[in-house]
Amino acid sequence: MKKITMIPKTDVIEIFGKNDQFWTTSLDVAKKFEKRYDHVLRAIKNLDCSDNFRLLNLGESTRQTKAGEQKYYIISRDGFSFLAMGFIGKKAAEWKEKYIEAFNKMEATLKKILTQQSRIEWKNARTQSILPQRQKTDVIQKFIEYATAQGSKNASKYYLLIQEMEYNSLFEGGYKHLKLLSGYFNESKTLKDLFNINQLFTLINADRIAEKALTEGMALGMFYKDIFQLAKNRVLDFAALIVKDQILIGASSQN
């Protein structure tokens, strides 16, 4: 495996949900602690832990880079604590604290979400959001057929593109932060299950706005890309009128 001498450091701690736990990566640890990446991999390999602990807390994976396939580990909170024991010095201590804080904030956000889902008011709001979403989905399907007829080769992507457009327009933290948390549930919940009541009602309005723009654009015979831009502009106009509400609190910035 080709050695990496140093990975550029950033101040954003990467923590994500997966398999009912929160995790970081060996790539992120190397960045924050300013260590050679091959040294971090060697430290993980040489951890004096049981096979069972390694299996539960240190998952091997690979990713494709310009230089070829690169090995990395996903590391649970316990795995990080075990690994970080070997990192010494004032700077290392600062980053240990920041990781602990980041894990705590992610877990606090999860607890808040699970608590809200037990409330009847939230359940009612979630139920009310279903019909507008279905209506928008039906219109998007017609829009996909419309775009395909106009020559689009990747029209099916508009399901995801329109969802991303709405989430990124309406909320601080956006779609990326939702995905970081949603992996915790192993697809047992949809992204909308992570919203609070205010966010659900905001999305109901945004769904209706997007649906209306798509319908009007098709009725006018507009080019499909212009119709998507029309829907985006209207959602952005709506977003400018509301108070932004964070989706995920404090899961990234740890400076």
Rounded CA gap, 170 and 135, in Å?
A: 20
Residues 94 and 134 occupy one common structural domain: no
Higher pLDDT, 191 or 68: 68
Above 90 in pLDDT, residue 180?
no
Residues 52 and 103 occupy one common structural domain: yes
Q: Is 254 domain-assigned?
A: no
Q: Is 255 domain-assigned?
A: no
Residues 121 and 49 occupy one common structural domain: no
pLDDT given at position 10: 44
pLDDT given at position 58: 95
Q: Is 75 domain-assigned?
A: yes
Total domains, the chain = 2
Q: Write out pLDDT tens, residues 24-39.
A: 999 999 999 999 999 9
User: Beta-carbon neighbour count of residue 215 at 10 Å?
Assistant: 17
The 8 Å CB, 24+ separation contacts for 228-234 are: 228/158, 228/161, 228/162, 231/162, 231/165, 232/165, 232/169, 234/209, 234/210
pLDDT given at position 252: 36
Residues 164 and 219 occupy one common structural domain: yes
pLDDT given at position 164: 86
Q: Is 171 domain-assigned?
A: yes
pLDDT given at position 245: 53
Q: Is 214 domain-assigned?
A: yes
Residues 81 and 166 occupy one common structural domain: no
pLDDT given at position 13: 82
Above 60 in pLDDT, residue 167?
yes
Question: Span 2-6, mean pLDDT?
Answer: 34
Residues 207 and 121 occupy one common structural domain: yes
In 45-144, which ranges are E strands? 58-65, 68-76
Domain stops at, among 67, 88, 110: 110
Amino acid identity, position 183: G
Q: Write out pLDDT tens, residues 49-88.
A: 999 999 999 999 998 888 889 999 999 999 999 999 989 8
Q: Is 81 domain-assigned?
A: yes
Taking 3-state DSSP, the helix, strand and coil percentages for the chain, each rounded to the nearest 5, stand at 60, 10, 25
Tell me the residue range of the domain where 75 lies: 16-110
Residues 64 and 121 occupy one common structural domain: no
